[in-house]
Amino acid sequence: MSHHVVANGEGQHSLWPNALDVPSGWRATGFSGTEEDCLGHIAEVWTDMRPRSLRELSAAGPHVLATERFVLRELTAGQVAALLRDDAPGDDQAPGYPTAGTRAAATAFGRRTADQHLRGFGMYQVVRCADGRVIGDIGFHAPPHEGCVEVGFGLVESGRGAGYASGALLELTRWALDQPGVTTVVARTAKDNLASQAVLERAGFHRGAEEAELFHYTRVRGAA
C-alpha cells in the first residue's frame, strides 16, 4: 500500500494511506512512497518530538515575574544543576542558600524528561529587591497535567516573616491559573508546619484532603 507523509499544526508527522482523505487538522507534506520510505523520511525531518508550541515556549527563555518587593527568576536547566554542585555561594545569595529543600527540588527537576521542560513551569529563585539577594525558591513539581499543577516553596531564615513567601506564592499561582488549560494549583505541607500552612492560606489556598503526615491545599481558577 502506498502512503504519504502528513503533518499537523504542531509540526507532528505521521503517515497516511494515499487512498484515504487526509484527516481534519492534518495536511499532506508532498512526500509519498512505501510505508518504510515514509517512516524513514519522518525520522529525518521530525527530529524534535515536542509540539511546536512547546518548542516555542522553551525557546523564549526563562520566565520572570517582578514586583516592587521581589523578583521571581526562573532558572535554566544548567542553573538548576549548578545548585547541586559544591560551588561556593554567589555574592547574591543570602546566608543559608541553597537550602536542603532547594537541593531536593533541583534533584527532582533534573529527572524531568525533555517534553516536561515547559517555560514558566520550572524552578524559580526569589530575589529580594531591597538588597538583590536570593532568599529562597519556589516552583512547580512538574508541568500541568489534566489542568492541575503542584507548587512548592521555601525561604532561608532571613527571608521569613516579611511576607515574601506568601507574596511569591500568590504571584506565581495567579500566573499559573492564567495559563490556558490550568484550572487548579495544589500544594502539600506537613501537618506540623504551621508557618507553611499560614502562607498557603494567605495566598488563597484552602485545605482539603490529608495523608498520614500531610495536608493538601488547593486553589482553583476564579477563587478570590
pLDDT tens series, the chain, 224 aa: 799 899 998 888 998 999 889 888 899 999 999 999 989 999 998 887 766 665 655 555 678 999 999 999 999 888 888 888 865 556 789 999 999 999 999 999 988 887 787 889 999 999 999 999 999 999 999 999 999 999 999 999 999 999 999 999 999 999 999 999 999 999 999 999 999 999 999 999 999 999 999 999 999 998 75
Pairing of strands 184-190, 148-155: parallel
Q: How far apart are CA 168 and CA 75, in angstroms?
A: 15
**Full domain range(s) for residue 139:** 53-220
CB within 8 Å of 10: residues ≥ 6 apart: 51, 52, 53
Domains contained in the chain, number: 2
Tell me if 173 sits within 8 A of 210, measured CB to CB: no
Q: What b-and-e string marks burial along 186-222, b requiring 16 or more CB atoms within 10 Å of the CB?
A: bbbbeeeeeebbebbeebbbeeeeeeeeebbbbbeee
Residues 119, 16 share a domain: no
How many Å from the N-terminal Cα to the C-terminal Cα in the chain?
58
Instruction: Note whether 82 and 164 are same-domain residues.
Output: yes
* Phi, then psi, of 60 in degrees rounded to 5: -70, -10
Distance of alpha carbon 162 from alpha carbon 120, whole angstroms: 25
One domain for residues 100 and 203: yes
CATH label of the domain that carries residue 38: 3.90.820.10
| CA nearest neighbour of 5 among 26, 186, 139, 108 | 26
